[in-house]
Amino acid sequence: MIAQLSQGCADDLDAVMRVMTSAFPDRYGEAWTRSQCAGILPMAGVKLVLAEDGEANVVGFSLYRTIVDDAELLLLAVEPNSRGKGIGRQLLSNFIADAKSSGATRVHLEVRDGNPAIQVYETAGFEQANRRRNYYRGRDGAAFDALTFVLTTQD
Ligand SMILES: CC(C)(COP(=O)(O)OP(=O)(O)OC[C@H]1O[C@@H](n2cnc3c(N)ncnc32)[C@H](O)[C@@H]1OP(=O)(O)O)[C@@H](O)C(=O)NCCC(=O)NCCS
């Protein structure tokens, strides 16, 4: 076992925001605010999964939404000190398995063009499907494209 995964809730938002702030560079505008996270958690089909290290510290999380046959990974983050140990891959595999078992046949996500996480997604079998121009807005007003990646789970 790489990390202990468990389902999170609104009580875990302090830990989630700590990981969020450390994981996403400020300049790209990818991180969500606490109120965005708090707002989406009660919505139907939304799940927060926490990754804890051996001392029960939250070191990563995924946030995703499954609606009927469609699952979207909204956020995936691992704090910098815990990277490269397979926790990101573990959270991604857990998301894909949960999406499949919930009946999703289309699994997708959006990621900033140039984000190194793309390699993690491609290794897991995701393929680029679309580009959304200027989707992300950095703090200084700079714009970055989003790429949509899709994994078809129907065998
Ligand atoms: C993307 C992220 C979650 C990966 O977490 P992680 O725990 O380091 O990932 P893993 O250790 O499971 O690595 C999985 C694979 O991707 C590779 N990888 C991970 N991060 C990488 C990076 N920054 N650059 C290049 N390759 C990377 C690893 O080498 C590994 O490949 P391997 O198994 O062939 O060696 C983490 O880098 C992160 O939090 N990034 C910032 C937040 C973000 O941009 N999230 C994605 C958009 S929502």
Indicate the residue type of 7. Q
| pTM of the predicted model as reported, rounded to 2 decimal places | 0.94
Give, using CA atoms, the residue closest to atom 35 of ligand 1.
84
Q: Give me the sign of the Cα torsion angle 15, 20, 21, 22.
A: positive
For the chain, domain boundaries: 4-152
Residue with tokens 């708090």: 38
CATH number for the domain whose boundaries are 4-152: 3.40.630.30
Tens digit of pLDDT for each residue in 112-148?
999 999 999 999 999 999 999 999 998 888 999 999 9
Which residues are catalytic, by number? 110, 121
User: pLDDT band at 62, cuts 50/70/90?
Assistant: very high
Q: What is the pLDDT of residues 75-103, one digit of tens each?
A: 999 999 999 999 999 999 999 999 999 99
For residue 82, which atom of ligand 1 is closest to its CA? 7
Distance of CA 89 from the midpoint of ligand 1 (Å): 7
* Alpha carbon distances (Å) from 12 to 34, 38, 42, 110, 114: 11, 10, 13, 24, 30
Q: Which residues line ligand 1 (CB under 6 A)?
A: 23-24, 75-78, 83-89, 111, 115-117, 119-120
Confidence of residue 105 (pLDDT cuts 50, 70, 90): very high
